[in-house]
Chains A and B, each alone.
Chain A
Amino acid sequence: MNCRECLDHLYEFLDREVTPELERDIRSHLEDCPPCDEQFDFEAVYLKFLRARCRTQGAPAELKHRVLRELFGE
């Protein structure tokens, strides 16, 4: 596997959407290729950051009450 092929699968790999064979090939390329490894790490940090920043918000309590009232009349 060359760098181009490895980077083509970057997000699929981080999203755990690759086959076990492809995952093995990517891991073995990353072990031998520090620049690709660094880029994978950077993107992994980014995705983790996105999830952490965007999931703090939940439905307001008032909305939940409103839904319950509308559905079950309470």
Chain B
Amino acid sequence: MATPTPSPTPPPVPVDEKRESFEREALVHLDVLYRVALRLTGNAADADDLVQETMLKAYRAWDQYEKGTNAKGWLLTILRHAFINEYRRRVRHPENVDLDTIEPFAVFGEIQDEDPQGAFFDRIVDDEVLRAIDQLPEAFRETLVLSDVEGMSYQEVAKVLEIPVGTVKSRLFRARHMLQGKLYDYAVSMGYIKGTPA
């Protein structure tokens, strides 16, 4: 009786291996995805659904992801597309903001005599900062969150948002100053600094 010859084709990637690499490279970014989803949708229930859907899509497409590259950027791209296609209309009112007409307010000029070290920032709590971020126009908000909250480089942000690096820089500049203006107004209204409201 002839012994069976080994099959010439390699066995398919075991499910365990796919799961293992997905857990190692994708699931570790759950916190990042959740924070970004929360800032995009503006509420926890939609953020949960958006992250869940992103993970499902990512797992189905996992074979297309080149292992060991930038999983965070790849996942955020999936998340953002899902948001644009399925959530944006529903969860956010359409924005009619002409970003180019927004003239950010230079806080340092107002405060350099009173608090040049920016000590007033320390008195502003998490919730207030997040609330102020949520008031930014979406294009500014997503740029600022990826860069300032998640610490991504200009190049990485440009890739996820599918815009040129120069646009990332200018949006970031204006988003940061706009947010600073809001926080400054808040600090003045709370009496943390004297200032003059913008």
A residues with a Cβ closer than 8 A to B are: 11-12, 15, 17, 38-39, 41-43, 45-47, 49-51, 53-60, 63-64, 66-67, 70-72
Contacts of B126 in A (CB 8 A): 53-54, 56-57
B59 contacts A by Cβ under 8 Å: yes
Asked if B52 contacts A54 (CB within 8 A), the reply is: no
What secondary structure prevails in chain A residues at the interface with B? helix
Asked if A71 contacts B59 (CB within 8 A), the reply is: yes
Residue of B nearest to A56 (CB): B126
Pick from B55, B117, B130: contact of A54, CB below 8 A. B130
Q: How far is the CB of B195 from chain A (nearest CB, A)?
A: 14
Contacts of A41 in B (CB 8 A): 116-117
Q: A11-B173, A54-B130, A54-B148 are in contact. List 9 more A-B contacts (CB 8 A).
A: A41-B116, A54-B129, A54-B133, A54-B149, A57-B126, A58-B35, A59-B34, A70-B55, A70-B56
Asked if B108 contacts A17 (CB within 8 A), the reply is: no
B residues with a Cβ closer than 8 A to A are: 19, 22, 27, 30-31, 33-35, 38, 44, 48, 51-52, 55-56, 59, 108, 111-112, 116-118, 121-122, 124-126, 129-130, 133, 145, 147-149, 151, 153-154, 169, 172-173, 176, 179-180
Contacts of A49 in B (CB 8 A): 118, 121-122, 124
Assembly CA distance A45 to B172 (angstroms):
16
Q: How far is the CB of B28 from chain A (nearest CB, A)?
A: 11
Contacts of A47 in B (CB 8 A): 148, 176
Q: A50-B148, A51-B148, A57-B35 are in contact. Are A63 and B48 (CB under 8 A)?
A: yes
The 10 listed contacts between A and B (C-beta, < 8 Å) are A38-B112, A42-B117, A49-B118, A51-B151, A53-B130, A58-B34, A59-B30, A59-B51, A67-B27, A70-B56
Asked if A11 contacts B56 (CB within 8 A), the reply is: no
